[in-house]
Structures are given as structure tokens and as C-alpha cells.
Chains A and B, each alone.
Chain A
């Protein structure tokens, strides 16, 4: 079965550079979520999109932005990178379903970003 695809899998950037992470959801999934997992920490929710509109926002720095495109893939843009941005970035997708219903989020393999 198709899974969530993230690219690149690994990325090395220098401080103050920019980075773009991509996420391709499972076919027919209309909702995308981004998470950041620092070393030794649990994943923290950053932002989510449904039908190209931001549906929820978590602890996403102002230096980061994201969007969802018409084909439902999403991109996380990170500018003025700092050493503390080094982390594993996960994307997840789901069917949004009806409001008040439960649905499973499927996680991608993650992109490991290293800022030097």
C-alpha cells in the first residue's frame, strides 16, 4: 500500500540558510500534518492543512512557513536556520472525515535536518 513520502530524507544546511521539506500524502488523503522531533524529545506538532487551508497551528516558529498545494502535497519552508532547528521532521496524512469523527494519521519516514 502507498505510504506517506517525504523528501529529502536527509538534509544538511548551514546557519542562516533556508530549507524546503516536501511531503506527499497517501492518495485520497486530504489533510497533512507536520511535526518536529528534536534529539531525545517526543514529536511536537507544528502545523496542519486541510484542502489547502491551514487547519491548525502548533509551536511553529515565525521563521517557518508551510502550504498545501492543489495535488495535496505540502511543503515546509524554513528560513534563517538555527542550530536548534536540527531535528527529525515528520509529515503525516489522514482523511479529514466529518467533524467530530476519529481518523488515523499515517506518518512518513521523516526528514533529518542537520544545521551546522
Chain B
């Protein structure tokens, strides 16, 4: 059974800092890994999707990397802003018994960027 862990569980940084969020998974047989942002009580906003064959994806100030063999992904946020404050979830798309995709979410990292 796939298990997805995110470290740290919570992070508080001053505005302008660069930061790294970590995601680890136990089963490296994955199709893709996706990073989401979730504001309190709100839905999931997709940030980046990395296919298993890719090493990284970039979007604006965000960069996500994937090391499938070691079961790790990192989300790098450059020049953090107060508006980045949210919970960040990684979601790993593995394989179900039928050979099709099944998504397992990580435990989340709650980020607070202090002005």
C-alpha cells in the first residue's frame, strides 16, 4: 500500500525567503506526482504535475523535482510571499490492482509566510 509523507507538517518563514517542501512515497511504481495548494476550507488548486519520466517541472516561482527511485519529490518556492500561505499537498498516482491509476495524498505541509 502506497504511503505518502510530507515533511515538515508546518512551516513558518519570513516573506522573501526561499523554501523547500518535501514529499516521500513508499512505492516507486508511480505514474505521476502532483502538487496541490489548498486554502483553509477551500478546494484543491493544482500547481504542478510531474510525469514519472520527468525530473522536474517549473511554473513561475515554483519548481518541483521528482526522484522516483528514492521515492522523493520536493517543491521549491522562491521569494515567498504572504499570499503563498496555505497547505501544500503532494499526490502520488500509483497503480491499482487493475493496472490503472490510483491517487494517494500526502499528509500536507501547512505554510505560513510572515510579512
Contact = CB atoms under 8 A, between A and B. Distances in A.
Interface string B76-115: 0000000000000100010010111111111110000000
A90 B31 contact: no
A73 to B, nearest CB: 18
Given A90-B43, A104-B49, A106-B46, A45 B98 contact: no
Contacts of B43: 88, 90, 107-110
Contacts of B93: 102, 105
B28 interface: no
A27 interface: no
Q: A99, A104, A106 — which one has the most chain B CB atoms within 10 A of its CB?
A: A104
A103 B101 contact: yes
B35 to A, nearest CB: 12
B108 A42 contact: yes
A11 B41 CA distance: 14
Interface size grouping (class) on chain A: 20 to 34
B52 interface: yes
B57 interface: no
Q: A42, A103, A106, A110 — which one has the most chain B CB atoms within 10 A of its CB?
A: A42
B99 A100 contact: yes
B49 A56 contact: no
A94 B32 CA distance: 14
Interface of B: 31-32, 34, 36, 41-44, 46, 49, 51-52, 89, 93, 96, 98-108
